[in-house]
Each structure stands twice: as C-alpha cells, then as structure tokens.
Amino acid sequence: MEPAVLQFIELLAVIAAATFGVLLARRKGMDFVGVFSVACMTAFGGGTLRDLFLDRHPLFWIQHEHYPLIVFGLAAVTSLARRIPKLVERALYVPDALGLGLFSVVGTGYALESGTSWFIACLLGTITGTFGGVIGDVVCNEVPSLFRSAPLYATCSFLGCWVYLLLRSVVPQQILAISVGIVLIVLFRLAALYWNIRLPEFSPADVDDRRGP
Amino acid sequence: MEPAVLQFIELLAVIAAATFGVLLARRKGMDFVGVFSVACMTAFGGGTLRDLFLDRHPLFWIQHEHYPLIVFGLAAVTSLARRIPKLVERALYVPDALGLGLFSVVGTGYALESGTSWFIACLLGTITGTFGGVIGDVVCNEVPSLFRSAPLYATCSFLGCWVYLLLRSVVPQQILAISVGIVLIVLFRLAALYWNIRLPEFSPADVDDRRGP
Amino acid sequence: MEPAVLQFIELLAVIAAATFGVLLARRKGMDFVGVFSVACMTAFGGGTLRDLFLDRHPLFWIQHEHYPLIVFGLAAVTSLARRIPKLVERALYVPDALGLGLFSVVGTGYALESGTSWFIACLLGTITGTFGGVIGDVVCNEVPSLFRSAPLYATCSFLGCWVYLLLRSVVPQQILAISVGIVLIVLFRLAALYWNIRLPEFSPADVDDRRGP
C-alpha cells in the first residue's frame, strides 16, 4: 500500500515538523510540556484536521502510534541542548519541503476517495500539509506565519495538489502521479525559498481600522 | 427541503461572513493565503464546529462545494482593491444579521434532530451562528470581539433560538417557526446595532490579577 | 457503572474548571457571553478533544446536558459579584486537582477501550485532564499557562495515567485501579503546588530569534 520510500519520507517529515515546533516553543520560553505539546501540534495538526473533517478514524497519529513516541523522544533529546544552532533550522528546509509534498498529495488523495470535489480535495491536501504550523503559531500566541508574506508555502502545496489530481485522472499508475506531485511541490517550495518568492501582503494602513459600527 | 429563499439567504450570509474575514485578515497585513483562510474560517467555522460536535458528515462546506469556491473568488476579487471603503463594512450588517438568524435557527434544528436537549440545541445554534468570527479572531491573535462588550450578537441568536424551539413545538408548519425565528433574530440584532445595546463588561481591575498560587 | 462518588467528584471538577474560566474571562474584561463561553471551554474543552479524537458521540457535555446548565448558572451567579476574592481561586485548587485526577484516569480508560496503545491512552488522558485550560488561554489570547514553567500539572496527570494502566492490568478490580490513579494524581498535584515543583523552562535568549530563512 505505502511503498517504503513514502514511509521514509513521512518519518523525515514528522521529525522536521516536530523540530520546528520544538524551536517555536523554546523561543516562547516554554517548559518540556509546552515543547512536546507544540511539537505534536506542528507535526500532527494538519493531518488531524483532515481526519476530523473527513471523519477518518482512527486519527493517523493514533494509528501510527510510534509517531507521538518519536516526537516525545525528539522533545526529550533537544531538551538536553542549551542552545539549538541556527544551522539546524536551515537543514530542516529540505525534509520539511518533502513533508509538505507528501502530506499534501496524500491528503488530497484521501479527500478524493471520501467523495469530495477536486477543489475541496486540493484544499484539504493543503490543510494537511500546512495547518500544523498554523495551529502551533496560534497556540504560541503569534499570527500564523503561513498567512503572512513569506516564501511561498501553501501556494506550492495547492498548485502541486492540482497537478497530482490531473495526472491521477490520466495516468493509470497511482505511484507516478503521487511522485510527480511530491517532486513538483518540493522543487517549487525550494525555489520559493531560494529566490525568496512571496505573495504581496496587504498593508494594514490601507484598511479602515475599526470593526465596530 | 430547503426553500429557495433560505438558500438565497444562506448564500448572502456566507458572502457577508467571508467579507468580514477578508477585512480582518487585511487589517492584520496578511497575504492572499491568509485572506482566503481567514475568510473560510469566519464563513464556515461555526457550521464546522456544529457538524463536528454533532457528528454530521460530510461537513456542510464539503457538501456544498460551491461555497469555498465562492469565498475563493471573493478573496481574489477583493485582493484587486487597494482599499476597501468603510461603507462596505456597514453595508454588510444586514446580510450578516440575516446569516446570524438563518444559521442559528437551522443549527438549532439540526441539534434537536440529533436528540439533544433544548438548552444544548440553543447553544449549538448560537455556536453555528457566531463562532466563525470567534475562530477568525483567535487565529488573527485578537481577543474574540464576540466575548467583549459590543452590540448584542450571541444574545440575539440565543434568545431567537428559544423562540424558534417554542414555536416549533406548538405550530405544525416548520417553515413558520423557522421564519419567525430568523426574523426575530434579525430585528433584535439590528435594534442592538441601532441603539447600541450591550451587555456590561467586567472591569479587569475588579479581579485579582495573577493566576498562580 | 459510575459510582456516586465519581459522579460527585466530576460535578466538583466541572464547577472548579468553569470557575477558573470565569476568572480568566473577567480578567480580560469580557461580558457575560465571554464569561460563559470561556467557562464552557475550560470545563469541557479537554473532554471534547478526547471525544472528537476517539470518535465518541454524543460528546460528554451533550450527553450530560445538565453540565452546560450548571456552568450557565455559575456564570450568571458570579456575574452578580463585582469582585471575586483571591481566596476563591485558592479554594479551587483541591477540587481542580480532583478533577485533574478523575478526568485523566477516565480519559485514559476510554482511550484504551477504543484500542489505542498505552502511550496514546496516557496522552489522551492527559489531554482530557488539562487541555480545557489550554483552549481557554488560547481564546483569551494568552500563551497557555500549562506550557510554561508553573507547578507541575500535566506531568502529574501523565504519570498518574501510567500508574493507572499498570494497576489495571494486574488487579482485577477496575475501581481500585481508578481510585489509586486519581489519589496519586491529586497528591502529586497538591505536592507540586505546596513545594512549588516545576520543570525548568527554556530561556528564549538561548534560541536564535528569527524563523525565516
């Protein structure tokens, strides 16, 4: 069902996403409980939303029970380090991009199998790939970085999901469509990081500033 | 099942709620990803909570697959505008009140059909009508405006839900109970806006200020 | 199924958790809608996450329909008080610790019955016992106090859940394992409060401070 290479990518991706959570929680001055909790949210948040929205049970981190254990170990090991070098974060960009690709494409596939429309399937794929970070940011009391002008992330996922869906409907080999989708998302994401490609952001000053009547 | 007039109100309400989300996200300086995401949250957040709490699947925005598309189009079109005039927000008060009425009453009905008590049904109706804005505010790192002293909103919904339930149990025509419930909520909300009717708020100074022991 | 003593503890625990929510919402200057909503989140948030994650329906506060009513009454009664003395909060530590014990152990049991691994069961037990406060804090725009260095809370719950699981597998009487688990968590929590036992927190200064590339 799941080739070994995809399982290996998934493992890398969980570790990368969890490590981003560890870094985020440490920046906020949390203790171990916070570090482990935020790491779980960044690693499992997107997939949990997808599973709840599509009514898929057991949730993937309940089924793959070793993932929370791995995140626990990661939080414990990193706790021993007084300082995490900046280099670690940069080294995570590649596994994180792989995870973005894998989770987006797999999430899109799950959604389609549940009978959603193509547009909804791509939305749910993108949510799977990106909303762990949104939940982590919200819980850490920050405006989600996904929603601000930064190198393209959700956009890479969303466009790659469409390519995957188109391929899936024309080529008979599932694994080919999945692979091309993932590779495209990874390349697009790394290109966005390298050339610093961003969407424009709205200037708050351009909006009238009070909500009330 | 759903008369055309209710479908039309629902469409108006989704557009109004999504536009509030667009304005909120722009005030926070987000990019298109943020604007679209927050617009989806304000438009679909309340209904999603209701569906998850009551275990109703597919979620209403997965079933009505054109709604996310409409919100996507709305986010795209408003992105072309450099500035959104204050007038737009004021013009949204009427469709937003209609949406408050419709979603509250319909949510209450769904809850009751799932076998909840009347009180729970009214709570779930109010959540359906109002919690999209709460989720949008939380994700945008603001204390929910629903929870602060502002012209009555949740209160209108909650009281209207009770009237709907009472009517529903005494008059045979469903559509009559629904219509009266919606109209009452709309009138109550518009009156609260016009006369600036608010609940009193608690002064933070009246509370001892630290949680720890 | 549920002996009267456990039901009584549950009632106390809901009241204690809801009162913490009332205090939190008042500190943020909310109105009655906010006070009631936040009280519901702190009282029912953890159990709701557990029920959604394990696909248990109806949710426990929909099934035990008197709990939301009790919280409503509590929010109403406390609204009459202009000022809530600091003493009230201290008096809540014991019922709150009882609730932590009860909800953690019961949540662990539910998870195990759903077929999860022991580690996942303990995680879900801890979430049940502690995440109401996390949700309340997040909605009130604060970094969750559970994740910061404070007298041990989640740690007491997590360790007590393991003891419960171990006992459960060796002693035939369910109620004995449950009771020992609860008592241990309560004693551990009160000891942590009394001797101010905390986990160390990470200093934000030890982390490189920007996330972007």
Interface check for C56 against chain A (CB to CB < 8 A): the answer is: no
Residue B157 has pLDDT above 60, yes or no: yes
Taking CB atoms within 8 Å and a gap of at least 24, the contacts of C140-145 are C140/B143, C140/C24, C140/C25, C140/C28, C140/C38, C141/A141, C141/B138, C141/B141, C141/B142, C141/B143, C141/C28, C142/A141, C143/A28, C143/A30, C143/A140, C143/A141, C144/A34, C144/A139, C145/B211, C145/B212
Residue among A29, A59, A72 whose CB faces C203 most closely: A29
As given in the structure block, the two tokens for residue B76 are 């795209």
Interface check for B89 against chain A (CB to CB < 8 A): the answer is: yes
The answer to the question of residue B205 being in a domain is: no
Q: Please choose, from the candidates C185, C186, C164, C166, the residue with its C-alpha nearest in 3D space to the C-alpha of residue C175.
A: C164
The answer to the question of residue C119 being in a domain is: yes
The alpha-carbon gap from B209 to the nearest alpha carbon of chain C, in Å, equals 7
Residue among C52, C142, C146 whose CB faces A141 most closely: C142
The answer to the question of residue B212 being in a domain is: no
| Res. B201 pLDDT band, cuts 50 70 90 | confident
What's the pLDDT at C1? 47
- Our measurement of the distance from residue A71's CA atom to the centroid of its chain's CA atoms, rounded to an integer in Å, reads 15
Question: Mean pLDDT highest for which of A169-178, B93-102, B157-166?
Answer: B157-166
| Rounded Cα–Cα distance for residues C17 and C89 (Å) | 11
Q: What is the mean pLDDT of chain B?
A: 89
The answer to the question of residue A205 being in a domain is: no
Task: Tell me the percentage of chain B whose pLDDT exceeds 70.
Answer: 94
The alpha-carbon gap from B99 to the nearest alpha carbon of chain C, in Å, equals 19
Interface check for C139 against chain B (CB to CB < 8 A): the answer is: yes
Tens digits of pLDDT across chain C (213 residues): 456 777 888 888 899 899 999 999 998 989 999 999 999 999 999 999 999 999 999 999 999 999 999 999 999 999 888 788 878 878 888 888 998 999 999 999 999 989 999 999 999 999 999 999 999 999 999 999 899 888 999 999 999 999 999 999 998 888 899 999 999 999 999 999 999 998 988 877 555 444 443
What's the pLDDT at A2? 60
Which of residues B80 and B52 earns the better pLDDT score?
Answer: B52
| Res. B69 pLDDT band, cuts 50 70 90 | very high
Interface check for A80 against chain C (CB to CB < 8 A): the answer is: no
Interface check for A176 against chain C (CB to CB < 8 A): the answer is: no
Residues A1-23, mean pLDDT to the nearest whole number? 83
In terms of CA atoms, which chain A residue is nearest residue C204? A27
Which of residues A2 and B212 earns the better pLDDT score?
Answer: A2
| Rounded Cα–Cα distance for residues B39 and B23 (Å) | 9
CB-CB under 8 Å, A193 with C147: no
Does residue C208 come out as left (phi exceeding 0), alpha (psi in the -120 to 50 range) or beta? beta
| Res. A90 pLDDT band, cuts 50 70 90 | confident
| Res. A141 pLDDT band, cuts 50 70 90 | very high
| Res. B2 pLDDT band, cuts 50 70 90 | low
The answer to the question of residue A206 being in a domain is: no
In terms of CA atoms, which chain C residue is nearest residue A49? C53
| Rounded Cα–Cα distance for residues C124 and A40 (Å) | 13
Q: Which residues contact C130 (CB under 8 A, 6 or more apart)?
A: C46, C100, C104, C146, C153, C154, C157
Predicted complex ipTM: 0.90
Q: Is A149 in a helix, a strand, or coil?
A: coil
Please tell me the total number of residues recorded for chain B in this structure. Answer: 213
Task: Report the predicted TM-score, pTM, of the whole model to 2 decimal places.
Answer: 0.92
Enumerate the residues of chain B whose CB falls inside 8 A of the CB of residue A147. 25, 28, 30-31, 33-34, 37-38, 139
| Rounded CA Rg of chain C | 18
Structural domain count, chain C: 1
The answer to the question of residue A202 being in a domain is: no
Residues of the domain holding C152:
3-197
Interface test with A, best of B62, B66, B96, B195 (most A CBs within 10 A): B62
What's the pLDDT at C210? 45
The alpha-carbon gap from C5 to the nearest alpha carbon of chain A, in Å, equals 31
DSSP conformation class of C57: S
- Our measurement of the distance from residue A177's CA atom to the centroid of its chain's CA atoms, rounded to an integer in Å, reads 20
| Rounded Cα–Cα distance for residues B47 and A126 (Å) | 21
**What tens digit of pLDDT does each residue of B171-182 get?**
888 889 999 999
Enumerate the residues of chain C whose CB falls inside 8 A of the CB of residue B153. 33
Q: Is A201 in a helix, a strand, or coil?
A: strand
In terms of CA atoms, which chain B residue is nearest residue A112? B62
Interface check for A207 against chain B (CB to CB < 8 A): the answer is: yes
What Å distances lie between residue C49 and A139, B10, B171, C123, C127, CA to CA?
15, 29, 38, 12, 8
Q: What is the mean pLDDT of chain A?
A: 89
| Res. B212 pLDDT band, cuts 50 70 90 | very low
Are residues B127 and B111 in contact, defined by beta-carbon separation less than 8 angstroms? no
Does residue A66 come out as left (phi exceeding 0), alpha (psi in the -120 to 50 range) or beta? alpha
* Interface size, chain A vs chain B, as Cβ–Cβ contacts under 8 Å: 105
The answer to the question of residue A171 being in a domain is: yes
Are residues B122 and A127 in contact, defined by beta-carbon separation less than 8 angstroms? no
In terms of CA atoms, which chain C residue is nearest residue A23? C207
Cis peptide bond N-terminal to B58, omega within 30:
yes
The answer to the question of residue B183 being in a domain is: yes
**Single-letter residue type at C60:** F
What's the pLDDT at C205? 57
Interface check for C171 against chain A (CB to CB < 8 A): the answer is: no
CB-CB under 8 Å, B83 with A148: no
Residue among B65, B84, B93 whose CB faces A119 most closely: B65
| Rounded Cα–Cα distance for residues C123 and C117 (Å) | 10
What Å distances lie between residue C96 and B125, C34, C50, C129, C188, CA to CA?
30, 21, 19, 10, 13
**What tens digit of pLDDT does each residue of B56-68 get?**
999 999 999 999 9
CB-CB under 8 Å, B147 with C31: yes
CB-CB under 8 Å, B141 with A142: yes
Task: Tell me the percentage of chain A whose pLDDT exceeds 70.
Answer: 94
Interface check for B69 against chain A (CB to CB < 8 A): the answer is: yes
Q: Which residues 97-126 of A have a C-beta within 8 angstroms of B? A: 114-117, 119-120, 123
- To 5 degrees, how large is the angle CA B8–CA B13–CA B18? 130
Enumerate the residues of chain B whose CB falls inside 8 A of the CB of residue C69. 119
Q: Please choose, from the candidates B171, B31, B169, B190, the residue with its C-alpha nearest in 3D space to the C-alpha of residue B100.
A: B190
Are residues A37 and A71 in contact, defined by beta-carbon separation less than 8 angstroms? no
Q: Say which residue the tokens 């152990």 belong to.
A: C105
CB-CB under 8 Å, B207 with C93: no
**What tens digit of pLDDT does each residue of A154-206 get?**
999 999 999 999 999 998 888 899 999 999 999 999 999 999 998 988 877 55
Q: What is the mean pLDDT of chain C?
A: 89
Q: CA torsion angle for A16, A19, A20, A26 (degrees, to 10)?
A: 180
| Res. A95 pLDDT band, cuts 50 70 90 | confident
| Res. A130 pLDDT band, cuts 50 70 90 | very high
Residue among C79, C90, C141 whose CB faces B143 most closely: C141
Q: How many C-beta atoms surround the C-beta of residue A194 within 10 A? A: 11
The alpha-carbon gap from C8 to the nearest alpha carbon of chain B, in Å, equals 22
CB-CB under 8 Å, B150 with A201: no
Residue B43 has pLDDT above 90, yes or no: yes
Interface test with C, best of B50, B148, B153, B202 (most C CBs within 10 A): B202
What's the pLDDT at A205? 57
Q: Say which residue the tokens 């009547």 belong to.
A: A213
The alpha-carbon gap from C137 to the nearest alpha carbon of chain A, in Å, equals 9
Enumerate the residues of chain C whose CB falls inside 8 A of the CB of residue A71. none
